[in-house]
Amino acid sequence: MEIDRELLKGSITLLLLNLLSRGEMYGYEILQAAAVRSAHAFEFKEGTLYPALHQLEKKGHIKAQWRTGDNGRERKYYSLTSKGRKAAQQYQRQWTHLTGAVNAVLESK
């Protein structure tokens, strides 16, 4: 099912912080992980991932480092900072609260 862009927009930050809290990843790897873990629900346009990553990097939530991966290719790896870790937890709490509230309204009779 295709998710509306506006709905997706608010969740990208949480999604990225959550994925990176599991370990460092490079851009393409993040996309694949998001698609696999969401059963291909999150298949957003690939180009939009990078501005979001750069925004998080500027906020100090993630840091980037160029290094050579296992296959010998150089890539830019992103990982969470301590500030980003706290932000990820905070976003997750807010998300749980929000979805709970939205579900409560949707399921109310």
Partner 1 sequence: MRTADQLIADIVRSSRISSHKRRQELLRELATHVDDFVLLARQAGRGDEEIQRLLVANFGDPQQIAQQFAWVYRRERIMLHLSVFLISTLVVTTVVSAAVMSMQAGMALGFGVPLLSVLGSRHSLIEALDILATVAAYMGLISLEKLFDRRPVARALAVLAASSAVLVAAFAATGMATQFLIFGSVNAVFLRTVQVCLSRSAARLGVVFAGFGVLGVIFFHPPASAVPSALARIAAGSNDSEAIYVSRSPRRHPDASSKPGLLDSRRALPDAGHRRHHFGLQLDRRNPAASLPARRTPGPHVLP
Q: Given the rule CB under 8 A, which residues bind partner 1?
A: 26-28, 45-48, 50-52, 54-55, 58, 73-76
Report, in Å, the least distance between residue 5 CB and partner 1. 10
Give the residue with the Cβ less far from partner 1, 6 or 107: 6
Report, in Å, the least distance between residue 54 CB and partner 1. 5
Give the residue with the Cβ less far from partner 1, 36 or 46: 46
Rounded to whole angstroms, the Cα distance separating 108 from 83 reads 37
Give the residue with the Cβ less far from partner 1, 37 or 75: 75
Strands laid side by side in the 25-26 sheet: 25-26, 74-80, 62-68
Give the residue with the Cβ less far from partner 1, 73 or 109: 73
Report, in Å, the least distance between residue 108 CB and partner 1. 37
Report, in Å, the least distance between residue 26 CB and partner 1. 7
- Cα 35 off chain centre by: 11
Which pairs from 79-85 meet CB under 8 Å and 24+ separation? 79/20, 79/23, 79/24, 80/17, 80/20, 80/21, 83/59, 84/17, 84/20, 84/56, 84/60, 85/21
